[in-house]
């Protein structure tokens, strides 16, 4: 008989481990150099703490009872535990606060999909630094770390989570009619988006806006002809871009259709792409309202890289 391990988990043997370690050591050195001290939090937290994020995308998937019958859950990311950590251990500390982490997160998986139930994340959280400066700092640290690891052909997609809601508001779609449209957009079903927009019964010009805007992506030139209702969000993206050092700025793809399923994002959102891999390597964004839920209202921004995907992309780049 062969003892199996749960699907979506895996053993790591020495050859792979050495390569993973080499990656995380370089990332750690870069994060530390930028002033981000490493923290670790328990993999298990009270369910109530993790649910404070109050969003479907970050809900924990695995729960156990402790000896007193309380419900504990495995964290599904590090952002919420670090929000808790800031509010409790740094309650009186002067912001900004900078932390980095190398830790496993636990997610539900769909059967037969090769998805990771346990994934190793490397990331940073910058607490108390508002946009655009804080966002620019996080992106700068991200690019410096990826450069140092030796990833060559990556790009960073930069969007704004407030952009599409602002657009819906502007063309007068009431909140109760937005659900299905946003769902189709998150699913990447543009045929469905078209159908839902048609069902709204709005004027042709507004409908055209709702269809066109999420498809706008590319270099700084794509921001030139963005319609006026989006001025604020676009100005925000521009100012982040202007604050970046030139090598990081050159990595940015503006992406007005970037919608993240995690509900706690409030402003800038970003994703890391590499042509060597069909899925994003990492992602991040601003979560200016999350800390307040833990009693320490501070703006914040962070990102998480999947160390395993980064490893695959690095290996893939070698072959090109």
* Chain residues that interact with another protein, rule: CB under 8 A: 110, 113, 155, 157, 188-192, 215, 217-218, 253, 255, 271, 273-275, 277-280
The answer to whether the beta carbons of residues 8 and 16 sit under 8 Å apart is no
As a whole number of angstroms, the distance between CA 58 and CA 265 comes to 11
Q: Which of 28, 47, 26 is nearest to 36 (CA)?
A: 28
- Which residues make beta-bridge pairs with 65? 71
Kindly state the tokens that stand for 269: 């959102």
The answer to whether the beta carbons of residues 267 and 190 sit under 8 Å apart is no
The b-or-e profile of 258-275 (16+ CB within 10 A means b, else e) is bbbebbbbbbbbbbbbbe
Rounded to a whole number of angstroms, the minimum distance from the CB of residue 253 to another protein is: 6
Rounded to a whole number of angstroms, the minimum distance from the CB of residue 261 to another protein is: 11
Rounded to a whole number of angstroms, the minimum distance from the CB of residue 290 to another protein is: 25
Rounded to a whole number of angstroms, the minimum distance from the CB of residue 215 to another protein is: 7
Rounded to a whole number of angstroms, the minimum distance from the CB of residue 281 to another protein is: 9
For another protein, the closer of residues 64 and 187 by Cβ is 187
Rounded to a whole number of angstroms, the minimum distance from the CB of residue 256 to another protein is: 11
Rounded to a whole number of angstroms, the minimum distance from the CB of residue 218 to another protein is: 5
For another protein, the closer of residues 219 and 295 by Cβ is 219
The answer to whether the beta carbons of residues 217 and 224 sit under 8 Å apart is no
In this structure, what are the phi and psi dihedrals at residue 302, rounded to the nearest 5 degrees?
-165, 170
As a whole number of angstroms, the distance between CA 283 and CA 123 comes to 9
For another protein, the closer of residues 215 and 242 by Cβ is 215
Rounded to a whole number of angstroms, the minimum distance from the CB of residue 176 to another protein is: 21
As a whole number of angstroms, the distance between CA 84 and CA 181 comes to 33
Q: Which of 174, 172, 195, 199 is nearest to 185 (CA)?
A: 195
For another protein, the closer of residues 114 and 175 by Cβ is 114
For another protein, the closer of residues 4 and 113 by Cβ is 113
The answer to whether the beta carbons of residues 266 and 162 sit under 8 Å apart is yes
As a whole number of angstroms, the distance between CA 123 and CA 19 comes to 18
For another protein, the closer of residues 83 and 158 by Cβ is 158
For another protein, the closer of residues 111 and 174 by Cβ is 111
Q: Which of 167, 268, 273, 166 is nearest to 212 (CA)?
A: 167
Q: Which helix (H) or strand (E) holds 14?
A: helix 14-33
In this structure, how many other beta carbons lie within 10 angstroms of the beta carbon of residue 218?
A: 11
For another protein, the closer of residues 128 and 214 by Cβ is 214
């Amino acid at each position: 008989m062969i003892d199996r391990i749960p699907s979506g988990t895996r053993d790591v043997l020495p050859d792979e481990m050495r390569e993973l370690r080499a990656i995380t050591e370089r990332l750690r050195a870069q994060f530390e150099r930028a002033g981000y001290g490493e923290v670790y939090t328990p993999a298990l937290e009270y369910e109530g703490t993790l649910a404070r994020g109050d969003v479907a995308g970050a809900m924990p998937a695995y729960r156990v009872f402790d000896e007193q019958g309380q419900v504990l859950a495995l964290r599904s990311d590090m952002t919420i535990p670090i929000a808790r950590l800031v509010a409790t251990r740094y309650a009186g500390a002067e912001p900004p606060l900078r932390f980095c982490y190398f830790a496993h997160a636990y997610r539900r998986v769909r059967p037969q999909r090769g998805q990771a139930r346990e994934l190793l994340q490397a990331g940073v959280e910058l607490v108390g630094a508002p946009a655009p400066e804080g966002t620019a700092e996080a992106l700068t640290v991200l690019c410096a770390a990826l450069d140092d690891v030796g990833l060559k052909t990556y790009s960073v997609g930069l969007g704004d989570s407030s952009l599409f809601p602002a657009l819906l508001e502007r063309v007068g779609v009431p909140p109760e009619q937005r659900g299905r449209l946003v769902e189709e957009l998150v699913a990447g079903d543009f045929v469905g988006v078209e159908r839902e927009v048609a069902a709204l019964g709005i004027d042709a010009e507004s409908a055209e806006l709702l269809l066109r805007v999420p498809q706008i992506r590319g270099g700084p030139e794509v921001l030139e002809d963005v319609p006026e209702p989006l001025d604020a969000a676009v100005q925000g993206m521009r100012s982040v871009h202007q604050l970046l050092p030139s090598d990081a700025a050159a990595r940015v793809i503006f992406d007005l259709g970037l919608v993240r399923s995690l509900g706690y994002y409030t402003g800038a959102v970003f994703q890391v792409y590499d042509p060597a891999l069909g899925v994003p390597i990492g992602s991040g964004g601003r979560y200016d309202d999350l800390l307040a839920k833990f009693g320490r209202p501070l703006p914040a921004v962070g990102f998480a890289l999947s160390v395993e995907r980064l490893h695959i992309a690095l290996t893939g780049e070698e072959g090109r």
